[in-house]
C-alpha cells in the first residue's frame, strides 16, 4: 500500500513512519508547512512546525531511505484553524484547534491531496488504535492512557478511518523513545510539543489581544447584574476560569469567583460562585460519527476535555430544523464546560463520534 507518513519532526511521527516501512508499505514522508513565517527554532516545548522541525523530519526520512517532501498548507491552516480559533473566541466560545486541525488539515486537506496523487492512506504519530470491527474499521483508545489522543481524533468519519493508520496506539511513550534511540534517530529525546502549536508561549489571551486589539468591557455579577470590574476583551476568558479575572477581592465575601458565562454581544464577562458552573446536560452540534450513528437513547462515556475524565452518560440524536444534534445527559454535574468545546462519545474504548458543545 502506498502511504503518506505525516512527519512533524517529532519522535512519534518518526517511529510511526518507520513502523509503516517495517509493515511492508511503500512510504513517502511529508512535512506540513503550516505557517507562512515559520520560526527558525522552537521557542519552547509548546511550539512545533518550525524550520528546525522540518529539518529533523528530513533527517529521519534520509535515515529511513524514503522520499521526503514539504507540502505547503499554510493558507488552509490559517483559514480553517487559526481564523476559526479567533472567530470562536470572539463569539464567546472556547474552541479546540487540535480537533479542527485533524478534521480540516490532516484528514481532509492532507488526505485529499494524498489520494489525488495516487496514495492509499495517511499514517500519523497519534496515540490511538484502529480495530477491524463487524461494521468496518473502528477508532479506539490507545493502550497508554497518559498519551491517548482518541479525543482529538473523534472528528474522523468512517471514510477517513478507512484511509488512516496510527501505528503507535499499542505502545507506551517510553517504549517509543527507546525504539527511536535503537533506530538511531537523533530526536529520540526531543521534547514533546504541547497545547496550541501556533501560540508557542502558551499565552492565549496575549496572542488574541495582538490579533483583535483591546476591547474594554464589564465584568458583571451573574446573579445580581452588578458591575464588578472591567476587562480588556471578553475573548480573553473562558467558562470555569478563576485566575486572571482582575477583581478587587477585598470587596468579595471570601468565596472564589469564576467565569460563568460570556455575553459576546454585550462584551460582558459574567462572574459567579462555583455552584453556578455545573452542568449535567449538553447539546452538541456539528455532529461527526466514526461509523454508524447510534439509534435512540444509548449509554455512552462522554469526555469534554482532551485529558479530562470520561463521564457515564446517555446520548440521543435529535433533529432540529433538519440538522442532526446530539443531547448528552451526564450522570454527574461537570464544572467548567464551555460552548465551543467538543464532547467525544465512547462505547468502552471505541470512539462513537463527537459534537461541538452549543450549550
The angle subtended at Cα 283 by Cα 281 and Cα 289, nearest 5°, is 120
* Residue ranges covered by each domain of the chain: 2-125+167-182, 214-276, 279-357
Place of cell 472528528: 155
- Which cell numbers in the block locate residue 341? 468545546
Residues in the chain: 359
Question: What DSSP string runs through 143-207?
Answer: S-TTT--TGGGTT--HHHHTTEE-TTTTS-HHHHHHHHHHTT-TTTTPPPP-S-TT-TT--HHHH
pLDDT of residue 238: 93
- pLDDT under 50: residue ranges of the chain: 40-47
The angle subtended at Cα 290 by Cα 284 and Cα 293, nearest 5°, is 65
The reported pTM is 0.92
- Asked, colleague to colleague, whether 2-125+167-182 and 214-276 share their fold, the answer is no
pLDDT of residue 48: 56
Q: Where does residue 59 rank: exposed (0-12), middle (13-18), buried (19+ CB within 10 A)?
A: middle
Taking the C-alpha atoms of residue 52 and residue 58, their distance in angstroms, rounded to an integer, is 10
Cα distances from 270 to residues 178, 216, 242, 283, in angstroms, run 49, 14, 12, 21
Q: Smallest Cα–Cα separation from 4: which of 119, 168, 161?
A: 119
Residues tagged active-site: 101, 197
Q: Which fold has domain 279-357?
A: Elongation Factor Tu (Ef-tu); domain 3 (2.40.30)
pLDDT of residue 78: 94
Is 214-276 in CATH node 3.40.640.10?
no
Where do runs of H (alpha helix) occur along the chain? 11-22, 51-64, 74-77, 83-90, 97-101, 110-116, 158-161, 173-182, 204-212
- Which cell numbers in the block locate residue 223? 446573579
How many angstroms separate the most distant Cα atoms in the chain?
A: 68
Is 2-125+167-182 in CATH node 3.30.70.3400?
no
pLDDT of residue 42: 45
Amino acid at each position: 500500500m502506498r502511504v503518506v507518513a505525516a512527519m512533524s519532526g517529532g519522535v512519534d511521527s518518526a517511529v510511526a513512519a518507520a513502523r509503516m516501512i517495517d509493515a511492508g508499505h511503500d512510504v513517502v514522508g511529508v512535512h506540513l508547512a503550516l505557517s507562512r513565517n515559520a520560526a527558525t527554532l522552537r521557542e519552547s516545548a509548546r511550539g512545533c512546525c518550525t524550520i528546525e522541525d522540518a529539518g529533523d523530519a528530513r533527517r529521519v526520512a534520509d535515515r529511513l531511505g524514503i522520499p521526503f517532501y514539504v507540502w505547503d498548507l499554510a493558507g488552509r491552516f490559517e483559514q480553517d484553524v487559526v481564523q476559526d480559533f479567533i472567530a470562536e473566541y470572539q463569539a464567546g466560545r472556547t474552541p479546540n484547534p487540535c480537533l479542527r486541525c485533524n478534521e480540516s488539515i490532516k484528514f481532509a486537506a492532507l488526505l485529499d491531496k494524498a489520494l489525488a496523487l495516487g496514495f492509499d492512506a495517511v499514517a500519523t504519530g497519534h496515540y490511538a488504535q484502529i480495530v477491524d470491527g463487524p461494521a468496518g474499521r473502528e477508532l479506539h483508545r490507545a493502550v497508554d492512557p497518559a498519551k491517548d489522543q482518541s479525543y482529538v481524533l473523534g472528528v474522523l468519519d468512517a471514510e477517513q478511518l478507512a484511509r488512516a493508520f496510527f501505528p503507535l496506539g499499542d505502545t507506551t511513550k517510553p517504549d517509543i523513545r527507546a525504539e527511536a534511540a535503537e533506530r538511531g534517530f537523533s530526536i529520540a529525546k526531543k521534547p514533546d510539543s504541547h497545547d496550541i502549536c501556533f501560540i508557542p508561549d502558551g499565552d492565549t489571551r496575549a496572542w488574541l489581544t495582538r490579533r483583535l486589539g483591546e476591547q474594554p468591557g464589564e465584568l458583571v455579577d451573574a446573579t445580581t447584574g452588578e458591575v464588578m470590574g472591567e476587562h480588556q476583551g471578553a475573548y480573553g476568558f473562558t467558562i470555569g476560569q478563576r485566575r486572571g479575572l482582575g477583581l478587587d477581592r477585598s470587596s468579595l465575601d471570601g468565596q472564589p469567583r469564576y467565569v460563568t458565562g460570556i455575553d459576546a454581544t454585550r462584551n460582558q464577562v459574567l462572574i459567579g460562585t462555583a455552584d453556578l458552573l455545573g452542568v449535567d446536560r449538553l447539546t452538541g452540534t456539528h455532529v461527526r460519527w466514526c461509523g454508524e450513528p447510534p439509534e435512540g437513547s444509548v449509554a455512552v462515556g462522554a469526555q469534554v476535555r482532551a485529558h479530562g475524565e470520561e463521564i457515564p452518560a446517555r446520548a440521543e440524536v435529535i433533529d432540529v430544523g433538519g440538522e442532526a444534534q446530539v443531547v448528552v445527559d451526564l450522570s454527574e454535574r461537570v464544572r467548567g464546560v464551555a460552548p465551543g468545546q467538543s464532547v467525544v462519545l465512547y462505547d468502552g474504548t471505541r470512539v462513537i463520534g463527537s459534537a461541538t458543545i452549543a450549550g
